[in-house]
Structure 1
């Protein structure tokens, strides 16, 4: 069972680490999306600047083409009429045409570079936009998934903790069953079994004396009758502890009254038992549960509380049964209940009482202060048998 607890603790750590890793991934995706958006803005600005430069360059190329065309016409004119122009004018005409040709070639090459650069920027801008959109979608999906996953994983942890408690309760039940069997076996061995052996022995003595010493045989038969009566009482007590037949024959209230009277006689503790309201028909499962609750509460008071006064109030209100048990014992710290609940050796006690009540869809409340006693407030709905939880 200890290993199981460790597994639950480790699973809880794994769940937290998983959620933390997803949150970290979400933060990184935020960074990626933000970087992509910044890159989109930078590329858009660079693309706009490049487009403006391209427009100016195209205009410049158009001007140069016109100038070159004019220069070529002038050069052809000079070449045809070289005798009308000086050598210097001819040289300048050639140089001007060459310079325009070179400048135009540079501008056209620059234009091609701008066009290629623009195409590259447009592709990069599209990719950056896609990256930002994908990151936004992933962030949204992770947010949804994280919400679902967090809820699911936390629910798994709660279910495992609940399963752990149920397994612990199951082990307590098995342990309690074995202890109860041992107790019953010991009571039968020390009580009725020994008495039956004594009865057999006395019967054999009577058999020997019946002819030889009738008076003594009669005396032994009286002793035998007394032993049989005591044995019968012991057997009835054992049967009553297992399940009081009076619950079926007399009902819940008379059975509790009888049990409380017996408890007072054995412990000399003052017990006040009051009832309020009437319920003519109580389902057997509810009667048995309430009896066991009182039995367990009184047992706890006897073992631990050392109380001098106990008050038990049973109320039938509308469709509910309310049970209030108060004592003036030494009390305890209710924070220790969880620790005891996880200890298989702590027995049933208050945890089993809570389980019994919750199986009937009831409410269980305990209040205790060290040195000031303990009070139990229990509410059980008077429901049909078919509605009783089988949890």
Structure 2
């Protein structure tokens, strides 16, 4: 069947039914994930309390062991000089030894039960975590399918003539978006969310610590919690900067690029240099954001894919155009051969095209890559 003979209404009906079924599955997966998360929190709280109890029991066991040793020593002493002691003393020694042994056995048994219980809960926590991770992974895959069915396939179906390329390009965009969302979700879950969960659990124990160990230990716990909260706040600020550097709105393109490139230079093995024309003024926010993302994409490609050790970025003016060049000494590639890595460049070309600009890419295997971008400034002011 050709694409020209497809009935759009029939396709929409099929998509609607498919999406309804997938959404039902997604809701069930969400419920499983939420239930697993709640169970995970409850199990962690139980584990914390059990470990405290185990610590108390282990200290008591040491006391019982010491008492048992003393009672046994006294019994040995009396046995060696049996005729020197009266019946009451001998009976009391045997009773004390028996009582000490019973108390020690009870402590050891309780310690064993607690250790078994802790191991059981730790195994359960591991199982619940795996279930939660699987549910999250499946939901991410379902989101990718739903985004494609309800977005690109429905919206751009008639606009792109090459169906195979349309599908590949649309899916890659969605996958990139979903991967970014998944990365942010994982960072928030493993960073601020875990810290806040830990703060919540520890806050519930402060009253218990105050009652058992006094106010000094309770205040120490509060100080530790404050440090955790500060770490979480720092992590949240970093995530916000990754989403959109606030300096871009406040200070403009040049200072934001300086800050970004310095940070990349410090955290990577590549040496980055940045030159710019000091006469560049503030531009439309859309243009500044686009140039920042273009430089960001080119620099990341040079580091991750080209394995470059040197990267040079230059911003200049040519009449009414902003000119951006990014050059690296990486492994390069054949511009005539389409590869998976070229998806980043394809996205850059799309972005430049939306701004009525031009982009030129020169690259040779083992000789590095040179990117030249020219974008008209004044055409963006009315946008």
TM-score range, shorter chain: 0.5 to 0.7
Of 357, 361, 365, the match for 2:360: 365
Q: CA RMSD in A?
A: 2.5
What is the Cα deviation at residue 371 of structure 1?
1.0
TM-superposed CA distance for 1:185, in Å, is: 0.9
Q: What residue in structure 2 maps to residue 195 of structure 1?
A: 195
Q: Does 1:350 align with 2:351?
A: no
Retained in 2: the 8 A contact 1:195–1:231? yes
Contact 1:176 1:347 in 2 (8 A): no
Gaps of 5+ in 2: 7-158
* Distance (Å, rounded) in 1 between the aligned partners of 2:217 and 2:160: 71
CA distance in 2, matches of 1:347, 1:207: 58
- Tell me, in whole angstroms, the C-alpha distance in 1 between the residues paired with 2:329 and 2:261: 17
TM-score (norm 1): 0.53
Name the residue aligned to 2:243: 242
| Contact 2:160–2:166 under 8 Å retained in 1 | no
Return the offset for 1:347: 7.5
Work out the CA distance in 1 between the residues paired with 2:222 and 2:284: 45
Question: Which residue does the alignment assign to 1:186?
Answer: 186
Report the number of matched residues: 227
- Worse-matched range after superposition: 203-212 or 218-227: 203-212
Distance (Å, rounded) in 2 between the aligned partners of 1:170 and 1:332: 24
Compute the displacement of 1:207 (Å): 3.6
Partner Cα distance (1:236, 1:330) in 2: 35
Alignment CA distance shift 1:187-1:349 (3 Å): same
Q: Give, in angstroms, the shift of residue 172 of structure 1.
A: 2.6
- Alignment correspondent of 2:287: 286
Q: Is the 8 A contact 2:275 2:315 kept in 1?
A: yes
Q: Which has the larger Rg? A: 1
Q: Which residue of 2 aligns with 1:209?
A: 209
- The CA distance in 2 between the partners of 1:177 and 1:255, in whole Å, is 23
Once the two structures are superposed, residues 246-282 of structure 1 have per-residue CA deviations (whole angstroms, 9 ceiling, x without a partner) of 1111111111111111111111321001111423321
Alignment of 1:3-22 (within 5 A): none
- The question of whether the paired residues in 1 share the 8 Å contact of 2:265 and 2:272 is answered with yes
Partner of 1:300: 301
The 5-angstrom pairing of residues 290-329 of structure 1 reads: 290-329=291-330
Cα distance in 2, alignment partners of residues 326 and 215 from structure 1: 59
Q: CA deviation at 1:383?
A: 2.9
Residue 264 (structure 2) aligns with: 263
Aligned match of 1:115: none
Compare relative contact order (CA 8 Å, sep 6+) and give the higher one, 1 or 2: 1
Partner Cα separation in structure 1 for residue 380 and residue 165 of structure 2: 25
Give the drift of 1:171: 3.1
Residue 333 of structure 2 corresponds to: 332
Say if 1:361 and 1:380, in contact at 8 Å, map to a contact too. Answer: yes
Cα-to-partner distance string for 1:194-251 (whole Å, 9 max, x where unaligned): 1111111222233433465222222222221221111112111111111111111111
8 Å contact kept, 2:328–2:368: yes
Matched residue SS, 1:274: strand
Deviation sequence 1:293-340 (CA, Å, 0-9, x none): 11111211121111111111111333211111111111111111xx33
